[in-house]
């Protein structure tokens, strides 16, 4: 591995100070399930590793009146065990539950999944449909960036070198709103998405969809929101025609690559199917509460 210098600051101020004064390239460490593997490939290089897990709040998840404030470094194992979160964001929880294995979830975090910015990252579409906002702290203060604006390319997000993701703010959904996430993999577990889709729907008492969000993953350089798919759902009872229209919109919005895990045509098709099925699951969840 690379030559590492390791710090585990216990305050945000100290962390940001370390980031901005480092002489060598800096890497922020949450669970390390991406980072440690990436660093194993580098030889004769230097890195300053700033482990942010000891900073208060980074591994917590607390409700305010209107939001869930998620510490970006909380392990998926802790996150998926939280019944209070499962009830409100079942789709985000199922996305976190798909990451790797029990062991990987013991360390992997949603903030790490987001900052690593893989096109196939499972939690990102689910964060998008839930209107997540990234809370960012740098040397010159804080800023807020919507998750769909946070990602700028394959493996790239908009953090400056002195900035940290310090929280993920999730607005409490309005009444009768539920989400769902589905991905396609060739195996039943321990694999990376070939395509993924998250959907959030709000239904009125008559079952008419009054609001919706659709996001797709692994079919473009970053996960993306698909407003046209959401529009296909809004105003309908999520009947077959509406679901097919949403599926077509997702397939249309996809801009996938071909590789040995799936062709362009296959990914385009499957992301539509996943959109349709996730919309149905989200709607059924509204019916269940």
Ligand X SMILES: Cc1cc2nc3c(=O)[nH]c(=O)nc-3n(C[C@H](O)[C@H](O)[C@H](O)COP(=O)(O)OP(=O)(O)OC[C@H]3O[C@@H](n4cnc5c(N)ncnc54)[C@H](O)[C@@H]3O)c2cc1C
Is 122 near ligand X (CB under 6 A)? yes
The dihedrals phi and psi of 169, each to the nearest 5 degrees, come to -95, 120
Q: Which stretch binds another protein (CB under 8 A): 28-36, 88-96, 168-176, 234-242?
A: 28-36
Q: Facing residues of 213 across strands?
A: 200
Contact pick of 22, 68, 108, 195 for ligand X (by CB under 6 A): 108
DSSP character string of 163-227:
-EEEEEEEEPPPTTEEEEEEEE-SSSSS---SEEEEEEEEE-TTS-EEEEEEEEESSSSS-EE-H
Binding to another protein by CB under 8 A, coded x per residue (else -) over 44-83, reads -----x-x-----------------------x-xx-----
Max alpha carbon distance in the chain (Å)? 64
Is 61 near ligand X (CB under 6 A)? no
Q: Nearest approach, Cβ of 123 to ligand X (angstroms)?
A: 6
Residue closest to ligand X (Cβ):
112
Is 202 near another protein (CB under 8 A)? no
Q: What is the CA radius of gyration of the chain?
A: 19
Report residue 126 as tokens: 């689910």
Please, which residue, 32 or 272, has the CB nearer to ligand X? Answer: 32
Report residue 218 as tokens: 């692994």
Report residue 47 as tokens: 């890195």
Q: Answer whether 30's CB lies under 8 Å from 109's CB.
A: yes
Please, which residue, 54 or 131, has the CB nearer to another protein? Answer: 54
Please, which residue, 121 or 127, has the CB nearer to ligand X? Answer: 121
Q: Which stretch binds ligand X (CB under 6 A): 10-18, 77-85, 159-167, 255-263?
A: 159-167
Q: How many CB atoms lie within 10 A of CB 198?
A: 33
Is 28 near ligand X (CB under 6 A)? yes
Interface residues with another protein (CB under 8 A) are 1-6, 8, 29, 31-33, 36-37, 39-40, 49, 51, 75, 77-78, 100-104, 106-107, 188-190
């Amino acid at each position: 591995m690379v030559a590492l210098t390791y710090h585990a600051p216990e305050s945000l101020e100290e962390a940001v100070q370390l980031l901005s004064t480092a002489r060598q390239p800096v890497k922020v460490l949450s669970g390390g399930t991406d980072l440690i593997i990436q660093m194993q490939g580098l030889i004769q290089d230097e890195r300053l590793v700033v482990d942010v897990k000891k900073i208060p709040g980074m591994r917590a998840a607390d409700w305010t009146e209107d939001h869930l404030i998620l510490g970006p470094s909380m392990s998926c194992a802790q996150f998926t065990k939280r019944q209070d979160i499962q009830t409100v964001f079942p789709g985000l929880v199922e996305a976190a539950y798909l990451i790797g294995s029990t062991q990987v979830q013991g360390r992997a975090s949603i903030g790490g999944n987001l900052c690593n910015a893989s096109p196939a990252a499972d939690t990102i579409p689910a964060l998008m449909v839930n209107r997540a906002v990234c809370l960012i702290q740098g040397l010159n203060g804080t800023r807020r960036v919507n998750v769909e604006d946070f990602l700028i390319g394959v493996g790239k997000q908009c953090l400056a070198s002195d900035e940290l993701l310090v929280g993920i703010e999730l607005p409490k959904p309005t009444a009768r709103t539920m989400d769902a996430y589905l991905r396609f993999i060739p195996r039943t577990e321990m694999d990376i998405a070939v395509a993924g889709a998250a959907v959030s729907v709000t239904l009125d008492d008559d079952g008419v969809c009054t609001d919706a969000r659709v996001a797709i993953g692994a079919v473009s350089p970053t996960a993306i929101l698909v407003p046209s798919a959401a529009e296909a759902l809004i105003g309908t009872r999520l009947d077959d025609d509406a679901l097919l229209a949403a599926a077509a919109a997702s397939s249309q919005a996809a801009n996938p690559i071909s590789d040995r895990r799936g062709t362009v045509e296959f990914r385009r098709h499957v992301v539509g199917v996943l959109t349709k099925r996730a919309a149905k699951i989200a709607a059924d969840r509204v019916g269940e509460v």
